[in-house]
Amino acid sequence: MTDLATYNFAYLDEQTKRMIRRAILKAISIPGYQVPFASREMPMPYGWGTGGVQVTAAILGPADVLKVIDQGADDTTNAVSIRAFFQKVANVAVTTRTREATIIQTRHRIPEETLTAGQTLVYQVPIPEPLRFLEPRETETRKMHALEEYGLMHVKLYEDIARNGHIATTYAYPVKVEGRYVMDPSPTPKFDNPKMHMSEALQLFGAGREKRIYAVPPHTDVVSLDFEDHPFEIQHFDKPCALCGAEHVYLDEVVLDDKGGRMFVCSDTDHCEDRREHGHAGEMLARQEAAE
Catalytic residue selected from 52, 241, 245, 282: 241
The phi and psi torsions of 66 (rounded to 5 degrees) equal -105, 135
Q: What is the distance between the alpha carbons of residues 197 and 181, in angstroms, rounded to a whole number?
A: 14
Q: What is the distance between the alpha carbons of residues 153 and 181, in angstroms, rounded to a whole number?
A: 12
Active-site annotation holds for 151: no
For other proteins, the closer CB: 26 or 132: 26
Site string for other proteins, 217-246 (x = CB under 8 A): xxxxx-------------------------
SS3 breakdown of the chain: % helix, strand, coil, rounded to 5? 30, 20, 50
Residue 19 in contact with other proteins, rule: CB under 8 A = yes
- Tell me the C-alpha to C-alpha distance, in Å, between residue 256 and each of 72, 73, 84, 247: 20, 19, 30, 21
Residue choice 1, 4, 21, 159 for contact with other proteins (CB under 8 A): 21
Q: What is the distance between the alpha carbons of residues 53 and 187, in angstroms, rounded to a whole number?
A: 17
For other proteins, the closer CB: 96 or 193: 193
| Pairing mode, strands 93-94 and 202-207 | unpaired
Segment (H or E) for 215: strand 212-216
Candidates 23-31, 76-84, 246-254, 270-278: pick the segment binding other proteins (CB under 8 A). Answer: 23-31
Active-site annotation holds for 279: no
Catalytic residue selected from 32, 49, 72, 208: 32
Q: Kindly identify the residues of this chain, within the stretch 184-213, that bind other proteins according to CB under 8 A.
A: 202
Active-site annotation holds for 72: no
For residue 38, the one-letter residue type is A
Residue 11 in contact with other proteins, rule: CB under 8 A = no
∠ CA(245), CA(247), CA(249), 5° rounding?
Answer: 110
Residue 89 in contact with other proteins, rule: CB under 8 A = no
Active-site annotation holds for 272: yes
Candidates 10-18, 160-168, 184-192, 255-263: pick the segment binding other proteins (CB under 8 A). Answer: 10-18
Residue 198 · residue 220 · CB < 8 Å = yes
Q: What is the distance between the alpha carbons of residues 74 and 186, in angstroms, rounded to a whole number?
A: 18
Candidates 28-36, 46-54, 91-99, 246-254: pick the segment binding other proteins (CB under 8 A). Answer: 28-36
Residue choice 11, 33, 48, 123 for contact with other proteins (CB under 8 A): 33
For other proteins, the closer CB: 173 or 181: 181
Residue 142 in contact with other proteins, rule: CB under 8 A = yes
Residue choice 42, 53, 59, 175 for contact with other proteins (CB under 8 A): 59
Residue 183 in contact with other proteins, rule: CB under 8 A = no
Cβ of residue 152: shortest distance to other proteins, in angstroms? Answer: 17
Active-site annotation holds for 241: yes
Number of residues that bind other proteins (CB under 8 A): 42
Q: If we measure between CA atoms, which residue out of 178, 173, 212, 169 comes closest to residue 193?
A: 173
Q: How far is CA 125 from the centre of its chain?
A: 8
Strands of the sheet containing 120-124, edge to edge, are 35-36, 212-216, 202-207, 120-124, 103-107, 65-70, 93-94
Question: Active-site positions?
Answer: 32, 241, 244, 266, 272
Residues engaged in binding other proteins (CB under 8 A): 8-9, 14-15, 17-19, 21-31, 33, 35-36, 58-62, 142-143, 145-147, 178, 180-181, 202, 215-221
